[in-house]
Each structure stands twice: as C-alpha cells, then as structure tokens.
Amino acid sequence: MTGGAGFIGSNFVHHLIRTTDTEVTVLDKLTYAASRESLADLPTDRVDLVVGDIVDGTLVDKLVSEHDAVVHFAAESHNDNSLTEPGPFIQTNIVGTFQILEACRRHDTRLHHISTDEVYGDLELDDPQRFTEATSYNPSSPYSAAKAGSDHLVRAWVRSFGVPATISNCSNNYGPWQHVEKFIPRQITNVIDGDRPKVYGTGANVRDWIHAEDHSSAVWLILQEGRIGETYLIGADGERNNLEVVGRILEHFGRGADDFDLVTDRAGHDLRYAIDSTKLRTELGWAPTFDRFEEGLARTIEWYQAHEQWWRPHKEATEAFYAAKGQ
Ligand code: NAD
Ligand code: DAU
C-alpha cells in the first residue's frame, strides 16, 4: 500500500493488523504529513515500511511486482496547502498515480485507488440530492482537481489496458493520527492549548464526517468483494456544519459556546459535501460502526488528550502557517 504513514493509511494498517492476517508493505515518502510513530506499535513481521516516492517508477515497479494487491492512499491531501503551493499536488496525485497504474498494468496487479468526494464539487445547503457514483466531476481546488485527474487516469487504465482496479470516493474523515493542520484536530488542540478555535468564513460550510475506522473497513471490503472497474462512494450520513462541530468540541471541554474566532475564509471554499453510500451498503453489505458522529468525536478528543507527544511537534509550525494567512 502507499501512504500508510499518513492519517487514513495508518488507520487502515491498524485495521488490517487487527482484523485480518494480511502482511503489508507501506511505501511512503514520509512528507511533513506522515509520522513513523503512527505505525510504531505494530508487529514488524507483518508491517514493512519502505521510505520512497510513488513518482519513482523503478521503485514502484519493483514493489508492485512483489505484491498481490495495491491500495493507493498516498497523496498531498490538504486543500489549504494546494492553494499556496499546488506543484506537489500535481506530482504526487497525478504523476504518482500514473506510476502506480503503469506498474499494475505491467504486472496485472489488483489496485484499489483511494479518492475523495471533493471531485464532485459542492452542493447548496438545501439541495436534497447527495453525491452518487453517477454525479459529474466538478472539482474546485488544485487538490480536488488533481484527485479528479487521478481518478480519470484509473478509469482510463481500466478501460484501455484492463488494469484490475476499483475506486472509492469517501467523505471527510476524522479519528486518531490526523495531522493538526486539519479542521477537527486543529480545533481540539487549540482548545487543549487554551486558544480559541478558528472557523473559516461564517462556519456554515457542511462536511459529511466519517470515522477513519469505518473508511478502512469499507476499503478492505471493496478490495475483497468490489467489482473490477466500479466506483464506490463511502459515507456515514454524518453531515454537520463547521459551527456545530466546533460547538461540540467547546462543549466537551466545558468552554463557552461563543469561545471561537471567525477568520479569513478559504479561497473557493466548497460549501457542502454529502455522500449517498447506498451502492456500497446494498451491493457489499457495508455499514459504519461509528454511526453517531458525536460519540466518535468524543473518542477522538480523548485520543488527542492522551497523545500530546504525537501531535505536539507539528503544532507550532502549523499555527505559524495559518497565522501568516490570517487564519
Ligand atoms: P495524509 O496527508 O494524512 O497522508 C498522506 C500520506 O501520503 C503521508 O504519509 C505522506 O507521506 C504520503 N505521501 C505523500 N506524497 C507521497 C509520495 N510522493 N510518495 C509516497 N508517499 C507520499 O492524507 P490522508 O488524509 O490520510 O489521505 C489519504 C488518502 O485519502 C488521500 O488519497 C486522500 O485524497 C484520500 N481522502 C482523504 C480524506 C480525508 O478526509 N482526509 C477523505 C477522502 C479521501
Ligand atoms: O471531503 C474529503 C476531503 O476532506 C479530503 O479529500 C481532504 O483530503 C481532507 O483534507 C478534507 O478536506 P476539507 O478541506 O473538507 O478538510 P479540512 O479539515 O481542511 O476542513 C474542513 C472544513 O473546516 C472546511 O469547511 C474548512 C473548515 N476549516 C478548516 C480549518 C483547517 C475551518 O473552518 N477552520 C480551519 O482551521
């Protein structure tokens, strides 16, 4: 698998080790977003970390030739970074995916490509429709456009070359091992530090939250039972606006409901994402275990309280990046 030292990738490795007897090789460049510590307590006879770049076609080819299947998580993943420096998003998300596809083509290796609901653009707050597998692509940011490009490459390699691949597009994940640049960990750790949460714009933007453990179970199921060439949307009916999420975090810590700042909005900020995961649920029988967002959020807050040594090294630089942009 690729990107296993990042947030969702490391949750997936923990899920595999706990629920299957699979052996995993993680190919990861260990960018600023990665953490070796996220994989630290796993059995070394089942998890092997190879530090390298998915853009390196020779390395990718060698590793793919030695494995039964590839799950491709590696990406530049943060919208705010894509607005300040889009170049790495093109390299990793598009060129890197191209290298994975070419290796899978040469070795006829099963591939599952991890993607995002952001490829579909955004919805109005009162739109009764949610994203489905039939929704047209309409990405807004350099990040989501690069992910959309990677999805199109996968579809083309399936159709043109018969690469045995599936794709999943998932909504916003939360849970342990998420970098403090992202919304929920940033606000939890701000409150732990006695600072005020920072909410972009008006805070009316809606995200459809899913616990990373539930994303992991869906990916494993699709890898086992998904139909080649198909796309599956993954979501847990977790729509909340950003003010509601911050309100929950403040309430958990016993802080006042107004104890946050509204800050400069994100350029091109998508208003709402919402996933209809009927296909995954009916065709493959998947269901989330964290079906109440508030309970999963409380567990996540407790995780950050108990793992300060994991997130602390990243906090200062992250806040300096945001402060320079008035966020
Ligand atoms: P992350 O930023 O936490 O982790 C990305 C990982 O990829 C890191 O370990 C990083 O070192 C690695 N990586 C980056 N560039 C690399 C390269 N060139 N070669 C090798 N490794 C490289 O990201 P995440 O939030 O865990 O997201 C993982 C995947 O899930 C991404 O493909 C993302 O688009 C997708 N996704 C994320 C979410 C979400 O809410 N975070 C939702 C849906 C889909
Ligand atoms: O929908 C799936 C996507 O979810 C993934 O593809 C991305 O990789 C992942 O980063 C995430 O993208 P978002 O841009 O939605 O996530 P982020 O955590 O950056 O922001 C969530 C919402 O919170 C969004 O409306 C912006 C807002 N926000 C974010 C930060 C960091 C704030 O209001 N304040 C903040 O400090």
The CATH number of whichever domain residue 225 belongs to comes to 3.40.50.720
**Structural domain count of the chain:** 1
Angstrom distances, CA of residue 123 to CA of 168, 206, 271: 19, 9, 6
How much is the pLDDT for 254? 98
- Domain housing 117: 7-178+210-237+270-293
Using left for φ > 0, alpha for ψ between -120 and 50, and beta otherwise, residue 265 falls in beta
- Which of 2, 8, 53, 117 maximizes ligand 1 atoms within 8 Å of its Cβ, making it the mutation to test the pocket? 8
151-199 pLDDT, tens digit each? 999 999 999 999 999 999 999 999 999 999 999 999 999 999 999 999 9
Residues 278-305, mean pLDDT to the nearest whole number: 97
In a domain, 185, yes or no: no
Residues 224-228, mean pLDDT to the nearest whole number: 98
Looking at the CA of 35, which ligand is closest?
1
Identify the residues whose C-beta falls under 6 Å from ligand 1: 2-3, 5-9, 27-31, 33-34, 53-55, 73-77, 92, 96, 114, 116, 147, 170, 172-173, 179
Q: Give the percent of the chain with pLDDT over 90.
A: 100
In a domain, 98, yes or no: yes
Residues 6+ apart with CB under 8 A from 58: none
How much is the pLDDT for 160? 98
In a domain, 143, yes or no: yes
Q: How confident is the model at residue 323 (pLDDT cuts 50, 70, 90)?
A: very high
In a domain, 259, yes or no: no
Q: Give the percent of the chain with pLDDT over 70.
A: 100
Atom of ligand 2 nearest to the CA of 79: 14
In a domain, 190, yes or no: no
From the CB of 218, is ligand 2 less than 6 Å away?
no
- Interval between CA 273 and ligand 2 midpoint (Å): 11
From the CB of 207, is ligand 2 less than 6 Å away?
yes
In a domain, 41, yes or no: yes
Give the rounded distance of the alpha carbon of 186 from its chain centre: 16
Average pLDDT, whole number, for the chain?
A: 98
Written as one string, the DSSP assignment of 269-307 is ---B--B--HHHHHHH----S---HHHHHHHHHHHHHH-
36-90 pLDDT, tens digit each? 999 999 999 999 999 999 999 999 999 999 999 999 999 999 999 999 999 999 9
How much is the pLDDT for 148? 99
Looking at the CA of 179, which ligand is closest?
1
Q: How confident is the model at residue 7 (pLDDT cuts 50, 70, 90)?
A: very high
Atom of ligand 2 nearest to the CA of 182: 18
Residues 117-133, mean pLDDT to the nearest whole number: 98
The span from the CA of 163 to the CA of 156, in Å, is: 9
Residue owning the nearest CA to atom 5 of ligand 1:
6
In a domain, 71, yes or no: yes
In a domain, 138, yes or no: yes
Residues 119-148, mean pLDDT to the nearest whole number: 98
